[in-house]
């Protein structure tokens, strides 16, 4: 299967989903009444984009060697994974981070939406913009806060303000079409946008706090956990395919030069993580650093394998990231480079561990050779 043609115009929305996932609630509740809840806000990395897939397989028929969770036995129904949000593209999967944070609160509420920017989080009354036919996420949060005892709010946002989708598209196109690097010019783009992006993240936190205060919550009644982004691709030296040739494009679905891969893994992702950590500190919220969460589990990583008829999908051996499939021969283009089912289960475990930490900042990593239950936290200053 050829996942990317040289002439393909890659559209890989980093989008990185509004439904209450559990229980009925009273018409109105105070912070001490109603079902307890964790709520996720933000973009595709927390909405559950890519959750349709458990590993990557070159087989294009049937269940695709068991990787396609939308397979019904006779066809494909993405609503089995994304529910009603398959229609508007928010792609809130059943395995999204908050949905995978089981054993915590009574309700696991996912308001995040694939492709959202910080303006899609703000209240409409304060500059917020509706997205994919849904009200701004802070306004949706108000309804949840009124009927639930919200304990933790997980926020993942800012990547789309930086134009992550465009960066991925540019880097892949430079590899496939132009045989040139992207890291030099794209670093300039990131540097020109990152201050405004962080200002948007900061305002998102202010908007969340305003909503919660209006719902009768004191600052001590709930916690905000701001999280960074994991790298979906490995360093060049950790890629199992040769840099030249077409294996990275046609087999692995990771069309990036080593230098660009190193830049993304060791410069871009840390730069954004460090800036988000700074916002968390300035705003007095907890920070969950995910920069190393997918280490060894990225698309094309040497430590992971493609799924085949004999190498079955497994959280211990398969990739935790959806590959790039610009031709949409399997699923949707916007699922590309996002944590898949395994990755989302791992992120959910990270959030579960953070839920148990009443204060402090932590990085979440995986244990090599272990499954998604092998995630662990390390305190960071």
Of 258, 129, 284, nearest in space to 200 by CA: 129
Q: Up-side HSE of residue 311: CA atoms within 13 Å toward CB?
A: 15
Q: pLDDT tens digits, residue range 169-181?
A: 999 999 999 999 9
Q: Structure tokens of 118?
A: 């910080």
pLDDT tens digit sequence for 260-289: 999 999 999 999 999 999 999 999 999 999
For residue 36, what are the domain limits?
19-380
CATH code of the domain containing 188: 3.40.50.1110
Please report whether residue 1 resides in a domain. no
In a domain, 4, yes or no: no
- In terms of Cα–Cα distance, which of 302, 298, 303 is closest to 320? 298
pLDDT band at 17 (very low <50, low <70, confident <90, very high): very low
Mean pLDDT score across all residues of the chain: 92
Residue 12 forms part of a structural domain: no
- Beta pairing class for 149-156 and 107-110: unpaired
- Residue 295 token pair: 């280490």
pLDDT band at 5 (very low <50, low <70, confident <90, very high): very low
- Is 5 within the bounds of a domain? no
Q: Does some domain include residue 146? A: yes
11 in a structural domain: no
Q: What is the pLDDT of residues 189-229, one digit of tens each?
A: 999 999 999 999 999 999 999 999 999 999 999 999 999 99
Residue 99 in any domain: the answer is: yes
Instruction: From residue 116, give the alpha-carbon distance in Å to each of 61, 161, 269.
Output: 32, 9, 19
User: What per-residue confidence (pLDDT) applies to 4?
Assistant: 35
Asked if 143 and 214 touch (Cβ cutoff 8 Å), the reply is: no
Number of structural domains in the chain: 1
Q: Residue 207 and residue 236: Cα distance in Å, rounded?
A: 40
């Amino acid at each position: 299967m050829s996942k990317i043609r040289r002439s393909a115009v890659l559209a890989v929305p980093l989008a990185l989903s509004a439904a209450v996932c559990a229980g009925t609630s009273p018409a109105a509740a105070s912070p001490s009444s109603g079902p307890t809840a964790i709520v996720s806000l933000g973009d595709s990395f927390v909405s559950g984009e890519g959750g349709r897939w458990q590993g990557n397989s070159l087989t294009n028929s049937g269940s695709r060697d068991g990787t396609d969770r939308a397979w019904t036995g006779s066809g494909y129904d993405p609503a089995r994974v994304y529910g009603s949000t398959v229609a508007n593209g928010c792609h809130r999967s059943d395995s999204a981070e908050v949905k995978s944070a089981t054993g915590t609160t009574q309700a696991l509420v996912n308001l995040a939406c694939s492709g959202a920017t910080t303006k899609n989080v703000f209240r409409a009354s304060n500059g917020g913009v509706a997205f994919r036919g849904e009200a701004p996420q802070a306004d949706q949060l108000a309804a949840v806060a009124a009927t639930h005892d919200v304990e933790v709010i997980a926020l993942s946002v800012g990547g789309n303000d930086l134009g992550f989708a465009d960066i991925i598209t540019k880097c892949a196109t430079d590899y496939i079409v132009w045989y040139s690097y992207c890291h030099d010019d794209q670093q300039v783009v990131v540097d020109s946008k990152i201050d405004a992006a962080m200002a948007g993240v900061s305002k998102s936190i202010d908007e969340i706090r305003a909503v919660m205060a209006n719902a009768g919550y004191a600052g001590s009644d709930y916690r905000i956990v701001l999280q960074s982004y994991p790298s979906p691709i490995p360093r060049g030296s950790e890629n199992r395919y040769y840099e030249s040739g077409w294996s990275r494009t046609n087999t692995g679905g990771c069309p990036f030069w080593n230098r660009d891969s190193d830049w993304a893994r060791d410069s871009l992702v840390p730069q954004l993580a460090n800036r988000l950590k700074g916002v968390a500190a300035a705003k007095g919220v907890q920070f969950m650093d995910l920069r190393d969460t997918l280490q060894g589990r990225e698309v094309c990583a040497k430590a992971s394998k493609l799924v085949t008829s004999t190498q079955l999908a497994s959280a211990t051996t398969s990739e935790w990231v959806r590959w790039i499939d610009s031709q949409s021969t399997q699923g949707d283009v916007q699922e590309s480079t996002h944590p898949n089912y395994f990755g989302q289960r791992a992120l959910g475990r990270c959030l579960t561990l953070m839920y148990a930490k009443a204060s402090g900042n932590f990085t979440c990593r995986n244990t090599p050779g272990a499954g998604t239950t092998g995630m662990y936290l390390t305190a960071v200053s």
